[in-house]
Amino acid sequence: MTIKKKRASRKPRVARPRNAGTMTESAFWSFIRSALRQKSRFWKPILQCKLAARRPYKGPNKRQKYEYLCNECGKWYQEKKINVDHICPAGSLNCAQDLPGFVERLFCEVDNLQVLCEKCHDVKTKSEKNGKG
Ligand SMILES: [Zn+2]
């Protein structure tokens, strides 16, 4: 008689129904999410929002031409320290049902956008995540 090895109780394998059997459902949706976010970098209202918050910089750094006003703390920052924030956040994209709302909110007009500094943006993002949990 052959002794059957008792299988270690493994977690059931995650199904990979997407992309020729190579992608899980959640990998697929994060792939779509990042593709859409990439496109939003060239969305004109985002550029509009940045231009509206900008003024010529007159400080000691010769290579800095402009500075940007944070809509939350009211201080001025260099370009790499600011984010264009969705006032009403684009939210999660985890399934097909999320898609229409996500696209509508991500590709919004300038009235739903604001410039925030890194600090204020962090605070807002964290409070949004906590609010959902
Ligand atoms: Zn700020």
| CA 1 to ligand 1 center in whole angstroms | 73
Distances (CA, A) of 104 to 21, 39, 119, 132: 30, 13, 26, 20
- Residue that the structure tokens 């996500």 belong to: 102
Nearest-angstrom CA–CA distance, 65 and 130: 37
Give per-residue pLDDT as tens, 8-51: 666 678 999 999 999 999 999 999 999 999 999 889 999 999 99
Q: What is the pLDDT of residues 79-97, one digit of tens each?
A: 999 999 999 999 999 999 9
- CB under 5 Å of ion ligand 1: residues: 70, 72-73, 117, 120
Q: Ligand 1 centroid vs 123 CA: distance in angstroms?
A: 9
| C-alpha torsion sign, points 30, 35, 41, 46 | negative
pTM: 0.80
- Rounded to the nearest angstrom, the distance between the alpha carbon of 116 and the centre of ligand 1 is 5
